[in-house]
Structure 1
């Protein structure tokens, strides 16, 4: 009896001990779970989503990768607000934040004929395909484009696409080019076929330059051939002027400019540079002529080809004239011929009344003065009408054969000379010819000097005062605005929808005519920031719809490229079944939701740019 009592007592004791241990374990687990939940909630509310919590008994372990030491301390403090800070065990790591440096976007372009090579790093947003399509449009269908291009998905300034578009435009001008394009910058070389094309390149590059685009482009062009080479200098009581000068080498020009400055001669027009000097001794001839003129009080000289003409005033000392003439003749190379004249002091000159020719900016010509005969009058009138038009010539001429001093020849020559002036006047007298005006041709001074070289006598002088103007830039007609382009495309796609073959990104036959018309509109619009957005209905899996919409948008972009539309500023995005415009529960609604939209690209928010929607 006693034995069974002991057994039962011991058994109850064991059961009680087991229940106590079990209750203790449950209490510990409850405390751990409650503590872990409360601390995790506190960290989440504080925004420390990178931190996690584990508990073991009364200890609370805070783990995770903290962005910084400060964030690590704050997370530990947040846990300490829930439990005793002494129970918080810090097991967090601090991750060194390394800012990824964006790559330098750069495009190297080399064109040789129809062959174009591309190298460099491009922003993913603008893509390789659109660049190649733009180059094909600029160079032509036979372009052979090879590329070693990489892309990086980083933001880029708006001056990047501006620089790329400008480089493609330059590529369309020159058959040989090497360009380096960076954000807001183009550098490199263009090769022109001739001097005139080189000048056209310079004007085009000048029009491109802006605050957002820097251009540093060297133009290599064959030097123009100038015939004949001309040098003209005059000295009077108060003036010392060089009206025309021509050189073949830069070194010779620099030396000449220095010498002229030392002698106080003013160079009225920039000297011409080109090929075609008559002999290798041209520079020495010019310097000798300049030095000879400077020895007189009043004199003028012209070197035209291999002919040197020196004219001094009648008041010049005869001995001085003879000495300088002899020295100049000795200094000139043997292939140059000198004609030096000094009028006799007692020579009587019959000065005829002036003959005046006036040319207005509207190309109206007035001729007034005295001519010797009716035949001379008819010749002058016919020449003027041939150069300026019959309705633009107004003649007021008196006939007097007493003044036959080669006036007819001088008048015809002056009309020929003034044909290239924008506006101006000519005064002809027995003392020579004076021509003034404005022109866009920087070689006109030399041309007029050449025209009169053999027409004036030894007692007559030619005076030129012609200003060279910068040729005006003719702006291309401005096309429709970007908003007008979107509206025009919207009108087309509202009337005729772009459809695709079922579950395919291939446009059906009826859509090709619509795309032809859209391409016509876009070619007039230029390179506007355009997004081509693709959408589907809600049937099928969302992932498949997203991929299909992207393929269809890209397909439209490719179709436009095939139609010679420059698409470097276009992007194609697919949005799947997002943003429905009709009810997907009906067939009519699903048909409307399967659409392509053309809209202006918001360069700041790429995902959903604002613009005009089109079905």
Structure 2
């Protein structure tokens, strides 16, 4: 073969090889481009747009940051469904997960006559054993106790311990309640037996609420049953006012109050929400009656059960009265009846009416004076007053006269009974009118008196009730606070002290009379948490002084218990020679340091000792006992 032919063939072979190489590269590029596009489209379609796709020959590279490991795995699987999985290269990262948030700890305690139930999620660090033991003791041996608590191992949130402590203290006082506990917040729902008990619960719970603790109280008292169901409204020269106001629902109360304000009542007012309304349309009837009096300009309307009595002022315009009374009568609901009274104008020159006057002084002295119809009424009024006021301190200045109205005896006895609802005041009885004025510690005293007089004298009776509620006279609202109780004890012991026989816990000297005074103070301060602390001077061993101070504190607590002071929430603590208030180097200083102190137990000071503290305390007590034994042997 000639050399030229050889070169020609070699050149043809090289050209073919080059064409093959270019063809192969073109094929690979085409496959790569199509693979990248196909994978990218599939990722976007399946919601994995966080991933980007790169081609490297036949390999498909996934890059980007997946929100979660699951999203990353799904993106790889999607790419593997479009090309051979072996060609998929994963270069994706995963967004770091945030630290797990602690759950909101909460606990609900349900208490009723059958027992106590506990449900919720609490921190694992909570002393669950002590918590359940306290609640089980509160439930009692014969009651059920159910614990459905769960725990989570997270830090105890700020305010949790104070909330739990307050909830337990509240539960002690509320036998029918649900208490919801969260860190820094406690919601109390409870049922009381009466309005008075409701007020006492609310006062006591507010007094023991720790500073900074958010507390929501919803204590329900059963509605009282009022009979007769009476609302009485007056508008005269002295202004517009209610002598008695009752409503069957809170919504009805709001409507009646709004109607009273529209008719001229000024200042804050409210109605007693009670059971006993004769009709579901009670509020409709009352509001229409108030509008009628307002349109007359003056007068009195009394709605007693289904009887509506409209009395105009003497001398009112007859035509206006007839129109207003006629419109009211036609508008009243079917079950109600109207009696309209237009008194005659007074005749000039008449002498004043006969009177019977009963007064009650702030000190409790009752005086009856004025006119009575006979000796029987005179004796009956005196005995009735003694029964109502529970006192022999009744002053009689009455006079028997003839010509009094036939119903005079009923009016006199009704006046004495009305006076018994006051703390101090007076009742003036006349043939056509009765005036009750005074102060009371009962919030609804005016309504109580009005209902009494309507029941005794009839719905057409004319009377005026002007009673002021004085909180200081309210036996519940006037209860002293913890701080006031402690101040009274401090005052009682400021110039004298409880002393003991030397080296013993026997109360000596005037200690008994001091304890009598302290017991009297504490009996006016129920449900208080007080610490009785005993202190000694520094003479003797430290352990012996601690033991003696504890014995003396216990002796004071026992003495108070004997004097019928409720000491269930008290504690006696002996501090030995700690916290001296004077110099132990002098006799006067040592005498001052030997003392009993009374302090309030705060939420911070009620924590139970830890197990370690308990072990250390027991060890210290054992050491003290050994020291005492050694001293005795010497």
Residue 411 (structure 1) shift = 1.7
Q: Which one is further off, 250-259 or 416-425? A: 250-259
Q: Distance in 2 between matches of 1:580 and 1:378?
A: 72
- Decide whether aligned partners of structure 1 residues 334 and 582 sit closer, same or farther in structure 2, where only a CA change above 3 A counts: closer
8 Å CA contact 1:377, 1:397 repeated in 2: yes
Partner of 1:321: 321
Q: Which one is further off, 128-137 or 100-109? A: 100-109
8 Å CA contact 1:241, 1:268 repeated in 2: no
- Decide whether aligned partners of structure 1 residues 323 and 431 sit closer, same or farther in structure 2, where only a CA change above 3 A counts: same
- Taking CA–CA contacts closer than 8 Å with sequence separation of 6 or more, which of the two structures ends up with the larger relative contact order? 1
What does residue range 459-478 of structure 1 map to in structure 2 within 5 Å?
Answer: 461-470=462-471, 471=474, 472-473=478-479, 475-476=525-526
Q: Distance in 1 between matches of 2:391 and 2:404?
A: 27
Partner of 2:37: none
Residue 313 (structure 1) shift = 2.2
Query: In the alignment, is residue 142 of structure 1 matched against residue 146 of structure 2?
Result: no
Within the candidate set 450, 471, 484, 2:534 is matched to 484
Query: In the alignment, is residue 416 of structure 1 matched against residue 455 of structure 2?
Result: no
Residue 534 of structure 2 aligns to a residue in which SS? Answer: helix
Partner of 1:335: 335
- Aligned CA RMSD, in angstroms, stands at 4.6
Within the candidate set 543, 565, 571, 2:610 is matched to 571
8 Å CA contact 2:229, 2:278 repeated in 1: yes
- Decide whether aligned partners of structure 1 residues 244 and 267 sit closer, same or farther in structure 2, where only a CA change above 3 A counts: farther
Partner of 1:257: 257
- Decide whether aligned partners of structure 1 residues 184 and 272 sit closer, same or farther in structure 2, where only a CA change above 3 A counts: same
Q: Distance in 2 between matches of 1:366 and 1:174?
A: 43
Q: Which one is further off, 478-487 or 182-191? A: 478-487
Residue 119 (structure 1) shift = 3.4
Query: In the alignment, is residue 345 of structure 1 matched against residue 353 of structure 2?
Result: no
8 Å CA contact 2:255, 2:283 repeated in 1: no
Q: Distance in 2 between matches of 1:279 and 1:265?
A: 25
8 Å CA contact 2:371, 2:398 repeated in 1: yes
Q: Distance in 1 between matches of 2:243 and 2:301?
A: 11
Q: Distance in 1 between matches of 2:447 and 2:621?
A: 73
Gaps of 5+ in 2: 1-97, 480-523, 576-604
Residue 219 (structure 1) shift = 2.5
8 Å CA contact 2:532, 2:570 repeated in 1: no
Q: Distance in 2 between matches of 1:577 and 1:410?
A: 74
Gaps of 5+ in 1: 1-97, 498-513, 533-565, 594-615
Residue deviations 1:319-374 (CA, integer Å, cap 9, x gap): 22222222222222332232222223366976434322111233221112122221
Residue deviations 1:218-272 (CA, integer Å, cap 9, x gap): 2345433332221111111351223322112233322333333333233774211
Partner of 1:24: none
Q: Could you tell me the TM-score, scaled by structure 2's length? A: 0.59
Partner of 2:17: none
Residue 432 (structure 1) shift = 0.6
Residue 120 (structure 1) shift = 3.3
What does residue range 144-163 of structure 1 map to in structure 2 within 5 Å?
Answer: 144-148=145-149, 150=151, 161-163=161-163
- Decide whether aligned partners of structure 1 residues 153 and 524 sit closer, same or farther in structure 2, where only a CA change above 3 A counts: farther
Residue 588 (structure 1) shift = 5.5
- Decide whether aligned partners of structure 1 residues 447 and 479 sit closer, same or farther in structure 2, where only a CA change above 3 A counts: closer
Residue 287 (structure 1) shift = 1.8
Residue 392 of structure 2 aligns to a residue in which SS? Answer: helix
Partner of 2:231: 231
Residue 155 (structure 1) shift = 7.8
8 Å CA contact 1:311, 1:458 repeated in 2: no
8 Å CA contact 1:343, 1:459 repeated in 2: no
8 Å CA contact 1:105, 1:121 repeated in 2: yes
Residue 433 (structure 1) shift = 0.8
Q: Could you tell me the TM-score, scaled by structure 1's length? A: 0.60
Residue 378 (structure 1) shift = 0.8
What does residue range 295-306 of structure 1 map to in structure 2 within 5 Å?
Answer: 295-306=295-306
Give the count of matched residue pairs: 439
